[in-house]
Structure 1
């Protein structure tokens, strides 16, 4: 935004009024008179990274999102596609302007008393895997050690993924030890992805055909390479029935922070700014980019609902104990309470961390962006519970939102460390609604066409600081959050923790070493153990995984898991100027 294009005071005031009409979303653009040098230029950053392509949270906005995965067949022709004048990735500036259009449509509807007119939007961006960058001829690393060496398939066990991956992501030739990102000859490696958002399937299909026309034979589309997501009929809600996308961080000087919302420096999300842990080591072309993590997470919705109904009245660990629940809850209400305690919020989005919502939902609070994030887990009103140390009196330490978006672990974890681990989530649901037959059978269908879940997408400047920390350091870590000088085993995140493989017995089987290992085991060590079973003279069993040292005094926690990863990949989202430079270099 040059000085000549700077908005007038009158336009600023109008835009601020329009922005107020979209305050229900977690990522709200800050309206300013001029650009700041210490934050990313919005026109340089691709569109889904900062504000997210608008989807269900705005009503009458985008309902469909496709992920178009590809391999580069001809790097020269592909670069020609990048320089094609018809190739115009959506920028964050475009998204900001689109949000203002949506705000204006709401304003006009409010004045006229008519329904909000749909704002027609077509948006897309492009991202590359490390293998894709190498095929494209980009040899420089981006100073992200994991991305520069590894594909997500190399980290499958490390991330806690126990289920079978989809063939699209389950490439052969992976290397858990050294990484396989540099294997440019692997025919199954993914090189990139277009993220496409439209009003309906036809619009996404039109954009897809446009991109195919631009890049022609320079790209190959793998089998099942277009993964489709859509907003559920119950808008805002993921398949377990909970309002999604509330606990987003606000980027300083780019977004309006809501009360209680975590604020982060720009470099936590966008490369090359304050908060980027390796900003000074990156090549110039990596500035104004971001890491994109894609994961396909299948949800066992019927199993979830059945478990809640079967165990919903066993609420001995709720505030005040079972005696504090008076009158006793019905089976259905007990199921809702149990589910809320596993998630950390009620279906409406209201947090359970407050006294007034610890046992019952408050839909008005859940829908109010000025209230639904205004808490930090401190407990001030219970005798014998200190507000100066972490407490699970109202909200369990293992609750999903408390595990993945931790707040206030004073004095044991610095707030700056928690801030640096933030990510922006931009996923969308996929698959059909639960069928009546599944309800009657009391189990989720095994047919592929009935699978459902979340197409998880997140953005941050650094894989290990953001996504990996939240997954392995927080969610899969029995001892997180840190709540004292002595480690306490709280258990894994019940939503994304590393579960046993779906369909496996889950039975715990003991194995003993014949000899003491030459080097003692340490937490996080990768092991390949070969087992011989007495009486079995035909087979040897190989067990691969990572070491988690569990003290003999540690409590055993028996809890089923309802989310299964079906695979994914790490990508880098380059800036729009970088894309143009690569195209010109052809």
Structure 2
């Protein structure tokens, strides 16, 4: 769960906890990586600030004019990707030249700025985007995590009415200003400057969250003691691909290169529909901010009780310890070494060991080595899904899992637990992780991981429920594999020791968009517009193509429907032959529903028209048009 500084600054546990890890030996900046040179994208999104000292200011605007005036001042201090990437490269190069010692003269202070839906609405003077179809990231962003808490598993001790920020009845947060620095004194100076600017323009600091890299033996680790930040995705056009394995990042075996649109608005995605967000949002990224409290002594005490229970039931070796069980529930040892490769013991005592993300679960489909409820498997299942192609090969990650990845920029808060220390080190002192993630789609990425993987008893799907995430999941039972048995499991009750203490959804605009927002140049509202799509096109369950007045959606019951802007049904395919697997637009001109074997179970009568397009019209109609513009079929829903 910890944040780490520069990849060679400090190592950093896996899964939904933040991510950096050690980088390959830095050399000349490679050609063909345009995103690395971007002065539009904020610097924390792709490059990552990677600093030892971090502080978040949650701000509330007093009014539009004052907010815009403040933004016009602070936007000039927001870091861009080019500057941060160059600094990180030079820092890594200098540190390696000094045999792992931080270069004394290399230090910087960075700022990032994002806005909640309410904040953007205040700056724009209305809705930041005009079209909000049900089930989309636009809806999730507008509602915010408190309204979606039950869907995300934020109930009981994690319920919004217990939150420190973002909950009901609390001040509205409009902006999140992140400051990160190599030196504590420089962070203090930057904070003084930003507090003064906020006060001058009448902004209220609603909440402050200090955080930073943990000291001593926990440097580069989270509060439970595990190295963090290993399974970060690579980004196409930012990270250099390996010539021998172009789908992986150079120097980081197992780190897949993901389409940039999974993290940036307006860029190509992996097998998913375009954003269809306003042009001013291009190069921006949706941000999740969550304060996750960790009960360190409670978690380790539970593991001691659990391993004793498992020994009594003959489910683990007699020599198994709480450390041994903790590694299996995490999926890694404290050093970051994967249990999949080192099942017996942690091979590294040195916390500075290189990160290993080259992990496969294809030969451990039943979770005999790494339990299926392990945090690492729950948040990034890799090839550990039972779905197979006809030739017996694992399902391709591209188009299946790559589009679920997120970029994590987290950082621990609070003092380490030490029963010999003072009150700030005691069991009741606040400590945990400030979880920060960037993605292009809140619903398809963060929320999907949280709802369908972490908080789901039946993921990955097996004969019996595997249980929730064994580290950050809610109270429940997991299926724990019996040691030495090929298929037996025992049920093990686990309690929740990581709780949500605050949450926000925000949007980090590009540098140009910050200027436009400050100048009042972002347009409000908008007119419906034709969405013209060429084959091949796939609509997965719940996905929608919206023109603003017509919404073509493949719905959860397996039927295809057109709804209007009020989400009222205007047309439906009426398929009743079972649950279809997908809706697709084929190159022969047909809009079809297909079953699990990819057979058409419903289709428009438009076969034999290569070059045809599917049009979700601004007039409310949905049509298939021939290459010459002739309407071949339509839903007759124009208004």
Q: TM-score, normalised by structure 2?
A: 0.66
Superimposed CA distance per residue, residues 302-352 of structure 1 (whole angstroms, 9 cap, x where no aligned partner)? 01122223333555699x964xx4xx42xxx61111000110110000111
Superimposed CA distance per residue, residues 467-514 of structure 1 (whole angstroms, 9 cap, x where no aligned partner)? 10111110000111135xxx64100002222338xxxxx9xxxxxxxx
1:93 shift after superposition: 1.0
Contact 1:377 1:391 in 2 (8 A): no
1:103 shift after superposition: 2.3
Match for residue 584 of structure 1? Answer: 519
Q: Secondary structure at the match of 1:65?
A: strand
Distance 1:68 1:317 in 2: 50
Q: State how 1:387-398 maps to structure 2 within 5 Å.
A: 390-398=365-373
Distance 2:286 2:208 in 1: 20
Distance 2:148 2:27 in 1: 37
Distance 1:41 1:156 in 2: 38
Match for residue 179 of structure 1? Answer: none
Of 337, 343, 362, the match for 2:347: 362
Of 464, 468, 472, the match for 1:496: 472
1:565 shift after superposition: 0.9
Of 418, 439, 462, the match for 1:460: 439
Q: TM-score, normalised by structure 1?
A: 0.72
Distance 2:312 2:174 in 1: 48
Match for residue 244 of structure 1? Answer: 228
Q: State how 1:39-58 maps to structure 2 within 5 Å.
A: 39=35, 42-54=38-50
Q: Does 1:569 align with 2:504?
A: yes
Relative contact order, CA 8 A, sep 6+: which one is greater?
Answer: 1
Contact 2:284 2:508 in 1 (8 A): yes
Seen in structure 2, the aligned counterparts of structure 1 residues 311 and 287 have a Cα distance that, compared at 3 Å, is: same
Q: Does 1:149 align with 2:158?
A: no
Distance 1:232 1:63 in 2: 8
1:574 shift after superposition: 0.4
CA RMSD after TM alignment: 3.4
Distance 1:71 1:461 in 2: 25
Seen in structure 2, the aligned counterparts of structure 1 residues 109 and 317 have a Cα distance that, compared at 3 Å, is: farther
Seen in structure 2, the aligned counterparts of structure 1 residues 251 and 488 have a Cα distance that, compared at 3 Å, is: farther
Distance 1:340 1:439 in 2: 29
Q: State how 1:86-485 maps to structure 2 within 5 Å.
A: 87-110=76-99, 116-117=103-104, 119-137=106-124, 139-141=127-129, 144-161=137-154, 162-163=156-157, 165=160, 168-172=164-168, 188-223=171-206, 225-233=207-215, 234-256=218-240, 257=249, 258-275=252-269, 277=272, 279-314=274-309, 322=316, 325=317, 328-329=318-319, 334-354=321-341, 357-363=342-348, 368-369=353-354, 372-379=356-363, 390-408=365-383, 409=385, 411=387, 415=397, 416-436=399-419, 445-446=427-428, 450-483=429-462
Higher strand share: 2
1:362 shift after superposition: 1.3
Distance 2:166 2:59 in 1: 15
Contact 1:75 1:218 in 2 (8 A): no
Distance 1:410 1:252 in 2: 28
Contact 2:163 2:500 in 1 (8 A): no
Contact 1:87 1:214 in 2 (8 A): no
Of 544, 547, 559, the match for 2:494: 559
1:26 shift after superposition: 3.6
Distance 1:481 1:41 in 2: 39
Q: Secondary structure at the match of 1:376?
A: coil
Q: Which moved more, 1:562-571 or 1:117-126?
A: 117-126
Contact 2:36 2:81 in 1 (8 A): no
1:433 shift after superposition: 1.7
Contact 1:350 1:365 in 2 (8 A): no
Distance 1:218 1:585 in 2: 17
Contact 1:302 1:438 in 2 (8 A): no
Distance 1:126 1:105 in 2: 29
Distance 1:118 1:273 in 2: 37
Structure 1 unmatched runs, 5+: 1-18, 55-61, 174-186, 380-386, 501-505, 507-553
Superimposed CA distance per residue, residues 34-56 of structure 1 (whole angstroms, 9 cap, x where no aligned partner)? 4557x5752111111112111xx
1:157 shift after superposition: 2.2
Contact 1:491 1:557 in 2 (8 A): no
1:167 shift after superposition: 5.2
Superimposed CA distance per residue, residues 509-543 of structure 1 (whole angstroms, 9 cap, x where no aligned partner)? xxxxxxxxxxxxxxxxxxxxxxxxxxxxxxxxxxx
Contact 1:71 1:219 in 2 (8 A): no
Higher helix share: 1
Q: Secondary structure at the match of 1:136?
A: helix
Contact 2:33 2:238 in 1 (8 A): no
Seen in structure 2, the aligned counterparts of structure 1 residues 195 and 431 have a Cα distance that, compared at 3 Å, is: same
Distance 2:349 2:37 in 1: 36
Structure 2 unmatched runs, 5+: 1-5, 12-19, 241-248, 389-394, 478-488, 522-639
1:66 shift after superposition: 0.6
Distance 1:288 1:93 in 2: 13
Distance 1:362 1:463 in 2: 37
Q: Which moved more, 1:25-34 or 1:402-411?
A: 25-34
